[in-house]
Amino acid sequence: MVIQTPQPALEIHNLTVSYRDKPAIWNIDFTIPEGVLGGIIGPNGAGKSTVLKAAMGLVPVSSGHVRIFGNPLSEVRQRVSYVPQRESVDWDFPASAIDVVLMGRYGKRSLWSRLQRSDHDIAMDCLRKVQLQDFAHRQIAQLSGGQQQRVFIARALAQEADIYLMDEPFAGIDAATENAILELLSNMRNEGKTILVVHHDLQSAYEYFDWIVMLNTRLVASGPKDTVFNAQLLGEAYGAKLTMLSRMANLLKQREFPVQE
């Protein structure tokens, strides 16, 4: 089930990505409209991160194509910001938190231009938004895992992009910080930004996201959360792992969805 909408920010068409001749995602096809806070959900190994990596050109594509604001990535790269998984980053690189965030400003300058005071002001403001202004000059290797993740979110904010693709940005972050960042992303959505997040927690996904992509190697569903969050589609996505859905039972009852045993 796919709900098509006009003016997509992200279009994934018939996308297949294989690792060692084994498909990680198979014939995925969906669109994300502009101005939504969306989540990609599904069980482990469903291909959630692979979709974002394919959109960013980080993995070879077996078939299909990706369009962002109707164009190939190469034509709109400055409008796109990507937050990778924390495990994929070399955190021993000798840089402070503010140095990392300032990396998000280089795309706003010409090749030989130096960063300006305004860039430093924007970077500090982004650190404030993720509650790390007091750690601006701390080496990233000295930060906790959750703090490192927030630095990368701040770097993404500093890019002032139009669409943000975030791969498990809440891994290693405590619940209070997660809620604060989700509120921040909601505010960005309200300002017209498009955000797509790989996420694992179904309850907070339903609470904060307004568009859901549900995967299990293939596309299960894509659409507004009230259309996608029902027991039948959740069962199709998670299969025998239905015990993972127990936290959703009360929510589904409140929304008058039948809870599948």
What fold is seen in the domain 1-69+162-175+190-255? Rossmann fold (3.40.50)
Question: Which one, of 189, 147, 242, lies nearest residue 38 by Cα?
Answer: 189
* Distance, C-alpha 229 to centroid of its chain: 19
Give per-residue pLDDT as tens, 168-189.
Answer: 988 878 888 888 888 889 999 9
Question: Which one, of 31, 5, 93, lies nearest residue 219 by Cα?
Answer: 31
Which residue's entry shows tokens 């907070």?
A: 204
Burial class of residue 96, CB neighbours in 10 A (0-12, 13-18, 19+): middle
Stated as kind and residue range, the H or E segment containing 196 is strand 194-198
Nearest-angstrom CA–CA distance, 155 and 106:
11
Contact between 66 and 54 (Cβ < 8 Å): yes
Contact between 127 and 136 (Cβ < 8 Å): yes
Which residue's entry shows tokens 């792992």?
A: 241
How high is the pLDDT of residue 71? 96
How high is the pLDDT of residue 69? 96
pLDDT beneath 50: ranges in the chain: 244, 256-261
* Distance, C-alpha 226 to centroid of its chain: 20
How high is the pLDDT of residue 260? 38
What pTM, to 2 d.p., does this model score?
Answer: 0.86
